[in-house]
Amino acid sequence: MSESDKKKSRIAELEKLIKKHQELYYNSMAEISDGEFDRLWDELAYMDPENQVLKDIGKDKSDGFLKAAHILPMGSQAKAADPEEFLAWANKQKFDEFVTELKLDGASLELQYEKGFLAKAVTRGDGVTGDDITANARQMNGVVPQLPEPWSGAVRGEVLMSKAVHKEHFSDKANCRNAANGLMKRKDGAGAGYLDVICYDAAPLGLFDMNEALNFPHGPEHPFDDETEKLKWLASCGFMIVEYRVFHTAFEVIDYRAKVVDRRESYAYDIDGLVVKAREPDIEDMKRLRPDRQIAFKFPLEEAASTLLGIEWSESGANYTPVALIEPVRLAGTTVKRASLANAGILRGMGLKIGAKVAVVKRGDIIPKIEGMIEDMPDSKPVEFPELCSCLTKLVDDGTRLFCPNPDCPKKALHRLEKWISVLGIMEFGTTIIKRLFDSGRVKKIADLYSLKKEELAELERLGDLSAAKLVDNLEKKSSPGLAEFVAGFDIEGIGVLTMDKLVKAGFNTLEKLRMASVSELEKTEGLGNITAANLKAGMNLLKNDMDTVLESGRLVIKESQTERGKLSGMSFCFTGELSAMKRSQAQALVKANGGIVKSSVAKDLSYLVSNDSYSGSEKNRKAKSFGIKVIDEKEFLALLS
């Protein structure tokens, strides 16, 4: 099937699916979640923005409800799936305080008030207009028909069915949200009295008009310049309000999330995350389609509570990385005893203690992670951080990394040898052999490998003539690495083959050019940054003699950068998500072997984003869409090579 035929048939399929699920939804028989429905909708809108189905359903398909415009547009929300994504967002915001609300899993509703009287209740709809379900809303618990003051504006809330009501009256519906969605939009209004509306936001009429906002009729004491005052005001008007807390640091939010996750079953309503925002609302930001000053900090899909039994410090080169040892717990079908902790800074930030109750999370096949402290226990003990490296140098803690700063640290030297063997892909030089050569003092530096003779290798314990000869042969086989492999093999902090490839493509394609370049010249390379550039410069200086000695041995030369054109030359590729036929590293190697460029992030000049799930709302997919970059799946990628 041709590309355009494929597209046509997918569009037809989407039209059918959207119509079908819309129908089911309005008959209170929804088979898929709102999120899944939105994805179908977004996919169709992306493939065919002018499609008639979008227009029909978006405007007046619904079973007779009138359409009404929102006062406060309902944009989409930025999302963080785990503490690291959340920290990245929080570090950018630099808030003094984080207002943290439970994220209720229901359907959004806007209550519109005119001079204190409820005038309209409007569903989310397309975010700009929705269904006017005022008659139903009047029956719902928590909807205030008349405010204590003649206020005009919008109150935002979530329509929910409590777990208790669901269990007692609607257990035939898949979950509380589906049941609530069905009832809220029944034309006859039956059952709306089972629903609760919990409110979390409000905006007076005219707030978005800057001039009017400044002279707001409520005077200087009006509550709309502070999120918590706003909630208190809502409560004073008689609304049920969302549970909220105020925290001063991002890590407090992370631990609070772990606590809520742990007891989420005990809440009266379904909760699927936290909403975190600044204490001071930013009107300009609220106007954006996707406000940046608030984020949905989602709950993990699979989590369990366990006890932290200890910390093991895993050593890789100069780095010391914490690994949590926990009370064994069943999670996603496996028993988990060890969990990753990202780095020393996150361990410290969460305030973890030995003996404390922690939240353990597992997503798909990834390594389990600790995502926060649920509760400190009375007899818990502080985590001890190692202070000295085995070379007796004092370790340095830069906030995210705990490492040995000694340039001559034996760990670093051994790691460098291992990295060299691995980057160049030299066969049969396993860690045991390297370690033996290293411990014996015969091979301390990369250059020492190239003075090895068959005879002396053969004398090594358990290594016969044959194996010794093979080792030397294997060294020889890889005696002409490219510049990228050569430099990356020297194990400079943050400098891998991918980064080096970028530098080579950017014109630093000989060792001489790389050495002559200043930090400010290097950092202009796409995706490099100042710290990496400075690390590279320092590493090149420090290792200059070592590199020269390797080259002077005459047993290794740097291959000049490829000029012949491969099938993928001139094209760049970025991969996201899982591949089915191969590992990502293998796919990246294929690109390079065919003259293409591998990129780790999506920028305007990218040729292709390879994704097997192009409609997952991932950052890379979104960026690719916004730049109009072609998104292809694994099959299409392989087709380019055949």
Number of residues that bind Zn ion (CB under 5 A): 6
Least distance in angstroms from the C-beta of 443 to Zn ion: 18
Least distance in angstroms from the C-beta of 167 to Zn ion: 59
Least distance in angstroms from the C-beta of 249 to Zn ion: 32
Least distance in angstroms from the C-beta of 347 to Zn ion: 20
Task: Give me 591's structure tokens.
Answer: 């690109």
DSSP characters over 500-542: HHHHHHTT--SHHHHHH--HHHHTTSTTTHHHHHHHHHHHHHH
**69 is an interface residue for Zn ion by CB under 5 A:** no
User: For the chain, what percentages of helix, strand and coil (3-state, to nearest 5) are there?
Assistant: 40, 20, 40
Among 72, 184, 389, 497, binds Zn ion (CB under 5 A): 389
Alpha carbons within 13 angstroms on the beta-carbon side of residue 548 total 8
Among 258, 404, 437, 547, binds Zn ion (CB under 5 A): 404
**Identity of the residue, 413 or 500, whose beta carbon is nearer to Zn ion in the bound complex:** 413
**Identity of the residue, 203 or 409, whose beta carbon is nearer to Zn ion in the bound complex:** 409
Task: Give me 485's structure tokens.
Answer: 């492999």
Helices 3-26 and 34-47, interaxial angle, to 10°?
140
Among 33, 152, 393, 549, binds Zn ion (CB under 5 A): 393
Least distance in angstroms from the C-beta of 311 to Zn ion: 19
**Identity of the residue, 200 or 320, whose beta carbon is nearer to Zn ion in the bound complex:** 320
Least distance in angstroms from the C-beta of 499 to Zn ion: 24
Q: Which of residues 554-583 bind Zn ion (CB under 5 A)?
A: none
Cα separations in angstroms, 639 against 148, 299, 582, 633, 634 = 67, 38, 15, 10, 9
The answer to whether residue 92 is catalytic is: no
Question: Which residue's structure tokens are 């008349």?
Answer: 146
Least distance in angstroms from the C-beta of 410 to Zn ion: 7
For β-strands 572-576 and 597-599, DSSP reports them as: parallel
CA angle 623, 629, 635 (to 5 degrees): 110
Q: Across the strands, what pairs with 335?
A: 330
Among 11, 286, 332, 391, binds Zn ion (CB under 5 A): 391
CA angle 388, 393, 398 (to 5 degrees): 75
Length of the chain: 642
* Of 4-12, 238-246, 361-369, 382-390: span binding Zn ion (CB under 5 A): 382-390
**Identity of the residue, 168 or 439, whose beta carbon is nearer to Zn ion in the bound complex:** 439
> Is 360 in a helix, a strand, or coil?
strand
> Is 323 in a helix, a strand, or coil?
strand
Contact 460, 436 (CB under 8 A): yes
* Of 20-28, 118-126, 216-224, 398-406: span binding Zn ion (CB under 5 A): 398-406
Least distance in angstroms from the C-beta of 389 to Zn ion: 3
Cα separations in angstroms, 619 against 4, 70, 189, 427 = 26, 28, 40, 38
**Identity of the residue, 320 or 575, whose beta carbon is nearer to Zn ion in the bound complex:** 320
**Signed CA dihedral, 172, 177, 183, 187: sign only:** negative
Q: Which of residues 405-424 bind Zn ion (CB under 5 A)?
A: 406, 409
Contact 253, 247 (CB under 8 A): yes
Of residues 6, 16, 92, 103, which has the active-site annotation? 103
Q: Which residues are catalytic?
A: 103
Summarize as ranges the residues that interact with Zn ion (CB under 5 A): 389, 391, 393, 404, 406, 409
